[in-house]
Structure 1
Amino acid sequence: MRTLLWTLVVLALLAVGADRAADWWAEREVATRLAASQDLGSTPDVDIAGFPFLTQALAREFGEVSATAEDVVVRSGDGELRLARLRVTFTDVTTDRDVSRFAAGRGRAVTTISYGELGRLTGLDVTYVGEGRVRGSREVTVAGQDFDPGVTVRPRLTEGAVRFVDAAAEGSLPPAVTAVVQAAFDVDLPVDGLPYDVRPESLSATTSGLRLVLVGRDLSYAG
């Protein structure tokens, strides 16, 4: 009886080990193919949810797969938007036998545009001031006099781009002074060309940056 018990334990451990090894291989394979098909600067960290893995693999159907990429660059025209991290969660996933094709019924991505990145793009010192508004400031010299004007704006998602609206100048500085800062916010940040064919759904200003949620349906990638 003891011998049979130990045999069953060993077989169970081998089965679990084989399952985890197959899961590891599949995650690496999906990550490599997504990096190539989505033109990512680095290989994403892929996690295939659910256990056991092998039963899902045999059916070639997976309930949930997530991919997290670091240092994602979105190029548009002559400019680029840098995202420190982009995480996408796929549901209702199917693949072919060698994982060369990856399809998902739905994808939901979350990323944050940092205030440091907004500062790089606008030339301003950008901070969050609450109630969905952000503040930009910079030193301005007008008629030989130095000023440090501040302007608050509200980020808005419009036609696949982040825009800044409802500008309000702080204090009672001359319009020519605050206009310099306000003009710096007159930029569009295209977010309609992010990887994975996901499209912007919502935008919110938070203490850590502009949180962007994107979604896509009936997605398919070939690596």
Structure 2
Amino acid sequence: MRALRILLILVVVFGGLFVAADRAAVYFAEGQVADRIRSSQGLSSEPQVSIKGFPFLTQVVGSSLDEVDISLGGVNATADGHQVAVTEVRAELRDVTFDSSFSQATASRAAGSARISYADLAKSAPKGASVGYAGADRAAKGQVKLSGRLADVLEGAGIDMPSTVRALLDGQTVTAYSTVSLEGGDTVRLRAETLPELPVPGLNDQVRDVVDYDLKIDGLPSTIKLDKVTASESGLQFSGSGTDVSLAG
């Protein structure tokens, strides 16, 4: 009975040591992976890496990790020199296999997501205009609302207006509902579906040139593949998924 008790104590002690060693190895590996991702992909900040699954050490021996989650506090998007914050940037990697040198890895499945709030999106809007929620029906079609005083929008675009034209436009507003799409995984494209008839001939084309613009997302890790954008009440939500995603070392 005494021998059995000693054996059980040893099992508990060594089991605890193994768990402690396993967790320490995970913590070290997460830091190394985060540093590798930041340096290899030129990120401005170090991502947060969480390696799931237990035990970790046996996963390493098998050269395969069940789940790796990567998140960034945010990256920037740019439109005509204006910077816009892209937040809640995440990647969820599943069944990650790697080579013996840990220099290359492949995720059999990957899902990515990101978000731009309307407050941040408004910073990319043409001068004199604002961008906001278009309502449930239009949001379901992937549309946002862009509006502003017409004279301010034209002036913000650098369009010269004689005083007589400005007087004619005084008090006039322009509202456009722009469909948002995602091109190439890193470019947000806003295109107005229709524009209201304006009181001065030729202004419609000029206004369209202003309200149709692209927003380039910079600094996304290659692990985050975005191919879909939806408009919600709080902003633009981006998502994407892929298979056999190669992770550069």
TM-score range, shorter chain: 0.7 to 0.9
Amino acid at match of 2:111: R
1:44-193 equivalent positions in 2, closer than 5 A: 44-73=47-76, 82-97=85-100, 99-123=102-126, 124-128=129-133, 129-131=135-137, 132=139, 133-141=143-151, 143-144=166-167, 145-158=170-183, 160=185, 161-169=187-195, 174=199, 182-190=208-216
Q: Do the aligned residues in 2 keep the contact of 1:192 with 1:200 (CA within 8 Å)?
A: no
**CA-to-aligned-CA distance 1:79-104 (integer Å, 9 cap, x gap):** 76541231011222123456443332
Q: For the structure 1 residues 36 and 192, does the alpha-carbon distance in structure 2 shift closer, same or farther, using more than 3 Å as the test?
A: closer
Q: For the structure 1 residues 119 and 74, does the alpha-carbon distance in structure 2 shift closer, same or farther, using more than 3 Å as the test?
A: closer
Work out the percentage of aligned pairs sharing the same amino acid. 32
Deviates more, 1:154-163 or 1:204-213: 154-163
> What RMSD, in angstroms, separates the aligned Cα atoms of the two structures?
3.2
Shift of 1:12: 1.7
More strand by share: 1
SS at match of 1:188: strand
Q: For the structure 1 residues 108 and 44, does the alpha-carbon distance in structure 2 shift closer, same or farther, using more than 3 Å as the test?
A: same
Deviates more, 1:29-38 or 1:190-199: 190-199
Count of paired positions: 221
Instruction: Identify unmatched segments of 5+ residues in structure 2.
Output: 152-164
- 201, 204, 208: which is aligned to 2:227? 201
* 1:211 matched to 2:237: yes
Instruction: Identify unmatched segments of 5+ residues in structure 1.
Output: none
Q: Do the aligned residues in 2 keep the contact of 1:64 with 1:90 (CA within 8 Å)?
A: yes
**CA-to-aligned-CA distance 1:62-82 (integer Å, 9 cap, x gap):** 122111012213569967654
Q: Do the aligned residues in 2 keep the contact of 1:149 with 1:178 (CA within 8 Å)?
A: no
Shift of 1:212: 1.5
Distance between the aligned counterparts of 2:44 and 2:79, measured in 1?
A: 16
Shift of 1:152: 1.9
TM-score (normalizing by structure 1)? 0.81
TM-score (normalizing by structure 2)? 0.74
